[in-house]
Structure 1
Amino acid sequence: MMPSPLEIAASITTAASVWLAARNNVHTWWIGVVGCVLYGWVFFDARLYADVTLQGFFIVSSMAGWLNWLRGAQGAPVAVRRTRLPHAVALAALSVLVAIAYAAVLHRFTDAWNPWLDSLVLTFSVLAQFLLMGRRLENWFAWLLVNTIAVPLYFARELYLSAGLYLVFWCNAWYGLYRWRQELAEAAPDGVAVAA
């Protein structure tokens, strides 16, 4: 089955946004908004409703991320930083609990194709997006998990282009992790990275 023109446009736009995020470029945000609008439509047609919800979240959070990267809370751009381990573990556990609850709702009240995996993609994407908005290094670990789940999920729904794209995103997440670690090392040459 050939990808639709809509899926092709969504894939190209989203790929550009994700590539810019790995390069720590502020233009990732507005390009991402366009990709999210297009992918919202694609996922609605595929009955992946948690992913539709996720695109709405991405649109709103991209606006906030754009402002945060430009000005931050104190009027200065936010630098790449780390998250303390207990905080990161608590956020991951909360994401799993929310995924279970949302999947149960989708399972009970909709014709969602795979509410369990779809909800994991949703909740860990939300976590990854919040971490990305704060320029936290750990966003790349969350994106790695999301992409690992999304590739077979989209493939199973015959969204082959999207599955391939998310495989590229998986590779891009490794690249982003590498680049952002380099930035942290350059910002803290004594080897002590700031955790907040």
Structure 2
Amino acid sequence: MIELLFSQYKDYSKLFIFLELTAVLFGIISVLFARKNNILVYPTGLVSTLIFVYILLEWKLFGDFIINIYYSIMSVLGWYLWTRKKNGADEFPISVMNRKDYLISSLIFTITLLFVALVYQFFDKFTDWTAYVDTLTTALFFVGMWLMAKRKIENWIIWVIADIISVPLYFYKGLTFSSMQFLLFTIIAILGYLEWKRLLQKQI
């Protein structure tokens, strides 16, 4: 079983393995902070996403490469939005999506899907099923990150769906540690939804 899970790493450099493990560790820490509605989700997340930018470029997973560039930008934006106060209270507290949020989310999903598809087409990389799955997860993650920056509770539902899809994708591509990370992310996202639901009920 161990051979099956980690045989991919026998040809990897120690630096590459160290970078992936570091990115995974900070990614997990970041999601745990997100579950607790703690602003430290963003600086810890930045460490993870910036490392994954390099790793995913090396593996030519262009969709997830774009995701992590976007994550890095949205982490800065989310960090800023979460610090804003209005009359002594958070300007963007935990809330549910309204009609405008659904419209914007739909636009983000559609535009991202088309953009990533064009990137794959341009580089002639639609040669494996992973390219199509990567395109889908990229669009989902874009929506999830935007909703998290706005503190919309539905962000956790998007994360659960995208994380589940990412587990076999990353394992197939030989990134076992990252695959295990997404499995853990799925569990944390479910717990995060329940935690935010509890916090939202306290606000009402």
Matches within 5 A, 1:46-61: 46-61=59-74
Q: Could you tell me whether the CA contact under 8 Å between 1:54 and 1:122 is conserved in 2?
A: yes
Counterpart in 2 of 1:143? 159
Q: Which segment drifts farther, 156-165 or 74-83? A: 74-83
Work out which of the residue numbers 36, 42, 45 in structure 1 matches 2:55. 42
Counterpart in 1 of 2:93? 79
Matches within 5 A, 1:70-109: 70-72=83-85, 76-77=89-90, 78-84=92-98, 86-87=99-100, 89-91=102-104, 93-109=106-122
For 1:34 and 1:159, locate their aligned partners in 2 and report how far apart those are by CA, in whole Å: 18
Q: Could you tell me whether the CA contact under 8 Å between 1:103 and 1:115 is conserved in 2?
A: no
| 1:103 Cα offset (Å) | 4.2
Counterpart in 2 of 1:115? 131
For 1:74 and 1:176, locate their aligned partners in 2 and report how far apart those are by CA, in whole Å: 27
| 1:62 Cα offset (Å) | 0.5
Counterpart in 1 of 2:40? 27
**% identical aligned pairs:** 24
For 2:21 and 2:124, locate their aligned partners in 1 and report how far apart those are by CA, in whole Å: 25
For 2:40 and 2:67, locate their aligned partners in 1 and report how far apart those are by CA, in whole Å: 20
Q: How far does the alpha carbon of each residue in 1:154-176 deviate from its partner, in whole angstroms, 9 at most, with x for none?
A: 11101111011001000010000
Matched residue count: 187
Work out which of the residue numbers 113, 124, 145 in structure 2 matches 1:129. 145
Q: Secondary structure at the match of 1:106?
A: helix
Q: TM-score, normalised by structure 1?
A: 0.86
Is there any run of 5+ residues in structure 1 with no aligned partner, and where? 189-196
Is there any run of 5+ residues in structure 2 with no aligned partner, and where? 1-7
Q: How far does the alpha carbon of each residue in 1:70-109 deviate from its partner, in whole angstroms, 9 at most, with x for none?
A: 115778422111112x445534543553354234313322
Q: TM-score, normalised by structure 2?
A: 0.83
